[in-house]
Structure 1
Amino acid sequence: MARLGSTNEEALAHARRGDAGPLWISADQQTQGRGRRGRSWVSPVGNLYVSLMFRTGAAPSALPQLAHVAAVALVQAIRATASPVSRLCIKWPNDVLVDKAKVAGILVEATMAPDRTQACVIGWGVNCSYHPEGLAYLTTDLSRVSGRAISAADLLQHLRPAMAEHLALWDEGRGFGEIRALWLADALPVDTPLTVRSDREQVEGRFQGIDGQGRLLLLGPHGPVTVEAGDVFLDERSAASVG
């Protein structure tokens, strides 16, 4: 579709009407694009905005792992489309970075279908030819870092089979160990300094990986810390450890 409010919202609407999926919905432009926690996602023409809806019998506790599945698939697709792109890495919970700058975000949502089965929607927003400025973090786009034009259509052509492959590997959570290993292979370097902010607190520490459920592991000033949710920022000390 040329223009939509939100590809995730459109996919959720299909699920609520009883569409079983799997269903891919993309748009050239979003007028109401959103990220995590209801934040606005700037969505001009030229970038990739796409959502996948499918039914799943996975336990609700396993659904956050889909952000890891989606990130691993996206990294594979970027390498196939925009190679060579150096210093490409994943930042927990849902970002892909190049040279410390955000190039993509992932949003995972779920809803109940009319037959009471669970439907999941995974949305990707990828900066292919444009990136916003003036945010609280660095941003970039694939065309800029690869030195040539990268189209949303070409990236999607590689993302769809990559996602099918990794969803099968995940196997509704039973194969998360393999997804975790792939995710860690492209994660930020161990000991990268991070700051995690939530509604309740701010935690600082050094990145240690993710656990068997997909939660963030940090080494804080007073020992190991496990983080279930929050916004993660590279702090000033990270400049020397990433990139």
Structure 2
Amino acid sequence: MAETSSSEELVLAFLAEAGDEFVSGEAISGKLGLTRAAVWKHVNALRAAGYRIDALPARGYRLAEVPDRLTALELRPLLDTHDLGRELHCYDELGSTNDRAKELADAGAEHGEVVVAEAQTAGRGRRGREWVSPPRRNLYFSVVLRPDLPPARAAELTLVASIAVCDAARQAGVAAGIKWPNDVLVGGKKLAGILTELAAEPDRVHWVVIGVGVNVNARAEDFPEELRGDATSLLIERRRPVPRALFAAACLTGLEGWLDRHAEEGFGTIRDAWRERSVTLGREVVVRTEGREIAGVAEDIDAQGALLVRGRAGVERILAGDVTLLRPR
């Protein structure tokens, strides 16, 4: 895990905030309390790390190009959060970001600490399924949360996360929607998945880890052949790549905003937002649970986030299961 000086991060943040404008070395040194020589040194260190920074006499420096990497240097200047991502753990490769986040949580990690990996060798989705994680194309991150919630309400956070990821995908220009409980789809194909794990006692939650995997710049050939008809990416849908650091920042900023609303306003607000983004409600579905298969129309989610399916025997309340969407009503 690479460490970067805080001064380099500050210089980068200052240049990023200026956008396409040049910033004088004098302005940077005055704002950050650095000597002009120190500014020059940090600019050269950033260039060596892959940033293209233009320089003109009497005008100063301008950030012209950012490498497509997910390290603290790229992510921290983009975050507009009070807790999420203030502490970043960035890796070139992990078995699973969720597993590392759980280790950190057990060791006392603070609320909002984030684990990001460029690749996963043992990424997984719900029910232990493999999550295909090619290197340096997509986004894989996990967030440690310490919510003031009883364990019975922890599942609500999965729906909170699905809203944030759906919104970030829409901001990136694709018509995303949520399949219950937590898959983000575009055109019926899977764009993102969310895995929530927790440690709790009967009356309180110790920690919750929310893992997010988003297919950002994956090409069709990056998916196993058997998944190509069911999976998609932002690149495939938009026909142009997405800056991954910007997309990660949008996910984390959105997630924190929805977590704050959940804490302040309760699940009712989340339920309404989830309904608006749902591609499940009103559809004929087949739900496979442990040892059962339930067919019917997905009518709603209840006050605990369970899916309500009206079948031949009436309305069934489903807490967990795999949903297959059939033709629209």
Is the counterpart of residue 208 in structure 1 residue 299 in structure 2? Answer: yes
Distance 2:192 2:153 in 1: 22
Aligned position for 2:184: 96
Q: Residue 151 of structure 2 contacts residue 205 of structure 2 at CA under 8 Å; is this kept in 1? A: no
- Counting matched residue pairs gives 232
Is the counterpart of residue 18 in structure 1 residue 18 in structure 2? Answer: no
Aligned position for 1:179: 270
Larger helix fraction of residues: 2
Distance 2:269 2:178 in 1: 16
Note the C-alpha offset of 1:9.
Answer: 0.5
Is the counterpart of residue 151 in structure 1 residue 243 in structure 2? Answer: yes
Q: Residue 47 of structure 1 contacts residue 151 of structure 1 at CA under 8 Å; is this kept in 2? A: no
Q: Residue 216 of structure 2 contacts residue 235 of structure 2 at CA under 8 Å; is this kept in 1? A: yes
**Cα shift readout 1:82-113 (whole Å, capped 9, x = no counterpart):** 21x13x21001110000011100000001259
Q: Residue 177 of structure 2 contacts residue 277 of structure 2 at CA under 8 Å; is this kept in 1? A: yes
Q: How does 1:1-243 map to 2 (within 5 A)?
A: 1-45=91-135, 46-80=137-171, 82-83=172-173, 85-86=174-175, 88-111=176-199, 118-130=206-218, 132=223, 133-135=225-227, 138-171=230-263, 175-188=266-279, 190-235=281-326, 238=327, 240=328
Q: Residue 206 of structure 1 contacts residue 219 of structure 1 at CA under 8 Å; is this kept in 2? A: yes
Q: 1:227 to 1:189 in 2, by over 3 A?
A: closer
Note the C-alpha offset of 1:151.
Answer: 3.4
TM-score by length of 2: 0.67
- Highest Rg: 1 or 2? 2
Distance 1:66 1:119 in 2: 12
Identity of aligned residues (%): 38
- Higher RCO (CA-CA < 8 Å; seq separation 6+): 1
Q: Residue 193 of structure 1 contacts residue 207 of structure 1 at CA under 8 Å; is this kept in 2? A: yes
RMSD: 2.0
Amino acid at match of 2:119: Q
Q: Residue 218 of structure 1 contacts residue 225 of structure 1 at CA under 8 Å; is this kept in 2? A: yes
**Cα shift readout 1:44-71 (whole Å, capped 9, x = no counterpart):** 0201100100212201111111111001
Distance 1:202 1:136 in 2: 26
Q: For structure 2, list consecutive stretches of 5 or more residues without a partner in the other structure.
A: 1-90
Note the C-alpha offset of 1:193.
Answer: 1.2
Q: Which segments of structure 1 move beyond 4 Å, counting only runs of 4 or more?
A: none
Distance 1:123 1:7 in 2: 7
Q: Residue 15 of structure 1 contacts residue 111 of structure 1 at CA under 8 Å; is this kept in 2? A: no
Note the C-alpha offset of 1:19.
Answer: 1.6
Distance 2:260 2:111 in 1: 15
Distance 1:117 1:19 in 2: 14
Q: Residue 16 of structure 1 contacts residue 112 of structure 1 at CA under 8 Å; is this kept in 2? A: no
Q: Residue 96 of structure 1 contacts residue 102 of structure 1 at CA under 8 Å; is this kept in 2? A: yes
